[in-house]
Amino acid sequence: MMLDFWRNDLAALNQRNRMRSLASNEGLDFASNDYLALAQSPELRQIAFQALERGAPIGAAGSRLLRGNHPEHEMLETEAAIFFGSETALFFGAGFAANEALLATLPQPVDVIFFDDLIHASFHNGMRLSRAPYSSFPHNDATALDKIICDWRYRGGIGKPWIIVESLYSMDGDFSPLEDLLHIADRHEAFLIIDDAHATGVYGSAGRGLTAPFEGRENVISVHTCGKALGVSGALVCLARPLREFLINRARNFIFATAPSPLLAACVRDVLKLVSMHDERRALLSRNIEKVRLGLSGFCNLTPTSSQIQPVIVGSDHRALALSRRLREQGYDVRAIRPPTVAEGSARLRISVTLNVNEEQISQMIKCLSDMLGKEKL
């Protein structure tokens, strides 16, 4: 009886094809965010080995404000600020924690948060904890955002607007109009927070991401997660020094969390150097992306995105799950994405293009998908 609520809720999820379960990694990788194939690479293993050899601890054994602060954390933050071009950086244990901390801590009660309709769940968590009110604007619609801020000011808004976007959206694979958004932020004395998670390492000079042209400005905060193209874990928040110090003193999930592993901080520091020298990896990834794009448009009659994230929207949860299962049976790990991660009626396959597959394997996957889509009459 005590567990009836949870049993019933799970049963309802199962009935609606919304039940999640953990699945092993089987088949060719068309699902991960390991875009540059670094996570299991010999180079990264060597980096970790060398960090251990020079004495980098595995565990921090405390929060950064107690005894958990280590020179590896501080060296990473110093070098990351130089690499990305910001005044300072602050290392968090995960991108989720970083995004949550930013919105839970920085906006004040007189401020307002305006967020793109498709921002990550971590930002939504932060807004629920924030003292500032919040409101959405239509996806990638800078004109609508400008009007919303003007209306807020007209109604007596006196604080600072906070604009929250991703540079590359993780489920739709499209890019944010960052330059337009920055003009709006400047015009309205607003802060612009950019989650650069899926662009860091992949785009920009030396893999510095799509935020590279805007780093170092007082009103721009960028978040570079380290567990995607960089192949490690954690997140670097790049921002002005007063905002960094404010987070250190006020962000509860920084103050009260055990610090990230110094070993991982050491690995991220060396991975940034590695990524900066690997233009050939980005060139290979670009070729893989183009191979998928041509295949989706030519063989599957779909309109692809320009990025490494290719959504194949099929509508129903059942159809997305069925296609994902059949692809995995054929040796291709392509995952189904369902509501509430995406909007109702927009369940999809999320094809992630990485260097863990080659062009021939991409061609074979596209042919298999094309055959299945034809049979499904999508």
Q: Is the pLDDT of residue 23 over 80?
A: no
Q: How much is the average pLDDT of 71-86?
A: 97
Closest CA relative to residue 268, chosen from 96, 72, 70: 72
- Within 13 Å of residue 290, how many CA atoms lie on the same side as its CB? 6
C-alpha distances out from residue 240 to 87, 117, 191, 214, 218, Å: 5, 26, 11, 12, 6
Residue 135 β-bridge partners: 114
* Gap between the Cα atoms of 224 and 270, Å rounded: 15
Q: Is the pLDDT of residue 227 over 50?
A: yes
Closest CA relative to residue 272, chosen from 58, 78, 120: 78
Q: For residue range 56-75, list pLDDT tens digits in order.
A: 999 999 999 999 999 999 99
* Gap between the Cα atoms of 362 and 89, Å rounded: 37
Sign of the torsion angle spanned by Cα atoms 76, 79, 84, 85: positive
Considering only residues 17 and 148, tell me which one the structure prediction assigns the higher pLDDT.
148
Structural domains of the chain sorted by starting position, each given as residue range(s) with its CATH number in brackets:
26-39+279-376 (3.90.1150.10), 56-276 (3.40.640.10)
Mean pLDDT of the chain: 94
Q: Is the pLDDT of residue 377 over 60?
A: no
Q: How much is the average pLDDT of 181-204?
A: 97
Closest CA relative to residue 276, chosen from 377, 196, 205: 205
Considering only residues 144 and 302, tell me which one the structure prediction assigns the higher pLDDT.
144
* Gap between the Cα atoms of 264 and 76, Å rounded: 10
Q: Are 35 and 228 in contact (CB under 8 A)?
A: yes
> What residues act catalytically?
33, 120, 166, 170, 195, 198, 228
Q: Are 114 and 149 in contact (CB under 8 A)?
A: yes
- How far is CA 241 from its chain centroid? 24
Q: For residue range 97-152, list pLDDT tens digits in order.
A: 999 999 999 999 999 999 999 999 999 999 999 999 999 999 999 999 999 999 99
Q: Are 96 and 77 in contact (CB under 8 A)?
A: no
* Gap between the Cα atoms of 100 and 253, Å rounded: 8
What is the pLDDT, as a whole number, of residue 281?
A: 95
* Gap between the Cα atoms of 120 and 164, Å rounded: 10
The pTM is what?
A: 0.94
- How far is CA 278 from its chain centroid? 21
Q: Are 134 and 106 in contact (CB under 8 A)?
A: no
